[in-house]
Amino acid sequence: MKRHAQDANPGTYRLLVVLWAAIAVGPGLPTAALAQQSPEAPSATRPDPALQEEDANLGDPPPGGDPEAMFPHFKTTRLWLAGQANFIFQTHPPFHAPYSGPNSLNPNYEKATSRLMTLYTGFRLNESTEFLVDIEEAGGAALSTGLGLAGNTDLDIVRNPLLSKAPYLGRGMIHKVFALSDDKVENQRSFLSLFDELPRRRLEVRFGKFGMPDFFDVNSVGSDTHFQFDNWTIDNNGAWDYAADTRGYTVGATADFEDRNWGFRFAEALMPKVANGIDLVWRPWQVHAENFEYELRHGLIPKKPGVIRLLAYVNHANMGIYRQAVANFEAGLTPIPEITNHPWHVTRKYGFGINIEQNLTRYVTAFGRFGWDNGKTESFAYTEVDQTFSGGLGANGAWWRRKQDRAGIAFVTNAICKDHQTYLADGGLGFLLGDGKLNYGRENIVESYYTVHVWRGIYLAPGVQYIQNPGYNRDRGPVAVPTFRAHIEF
CB 69 within 8 A of CB 457: yes
Mean pLDDT, residues 218-245: 95
- Is the pLDDT at 471 greater than 60? The verdict is yes
What is the SS3 assignment for 51? helix
Lowest model confidence (mean pLDDT) among 17-31, 125-139, 140-154:
17-31
CB 310 within 8 A of CB 192: no
Instruction: Please compute Rg for the chain using Cα positions.
Output: 22
CB atoms under 10 Å from CB of 301, counted, come to 12
10 Å CB burial of residue 336 (0-12, 13-18, 19+) is: middle
Helices 322-330 and 418-425: angle between axes, nearest 10 degrees: 40
Q: Render pLDDT for 75-116 as a digit per residue (tens, 0 to 9).
A: 778 899 999 999 999 999 999 999 999 999 999 999 999 999
Average pLDDT of the residues of the chain: 87
Share of the chain above pLDDT 90, in %: 80
CB atoms under 10 Å from CB of 75, counted, come to 7
Tell me which amino acid residue 459 is.
Y
Own/partner pairs, 176-180, CB within 8 angstroms, 24+ separation: 176/128, 176/129, 176/204, 176/205, 176/206, 177/128, 177/129, 177/202, 177/203, 177/204, 177/205, 178/128, 178/202, 178/203, 178/204, 178/205, 179/128
Pairing type for strands 364-373 and 387-396 reads antiparallel
Q: What is the pLDDT of residue 205?
A: 98
Q: What is the pLDDT of residue 165?
A: 77
Alpha helices in 26-162 (DSSP H): 31-35, 49-58
Q: Render pLDDT for 305-352 as a digit per residue (tens, 0 to 9).
A: 999 999 999 999 999 999 999 999 999 999 999 999 999 999 999 999
Q: Confidence band (pLDDT; 50, 70, 90) for 65? A: low
Q: What is the pLDDT of residue 249?
A: 96
Q: Render pLDDT for 1-54 as a digit per residue (tens, 0 to 9).
A: 333 333 334 443 443 343 344 334 443 333 333 233 333 333 333 344 444 444
Residue 197's DSSP bridge partners are 186
- Is the pLDDT at 243 greater than 50? The verdict is yes
Q: What is the pLDDT of residue 352?
A: 97
Lowest model confidence (mean pLDDT) among 131-135, 192-196, 472-476:
192-196
CB 108 within 8 A of CB 4: yes
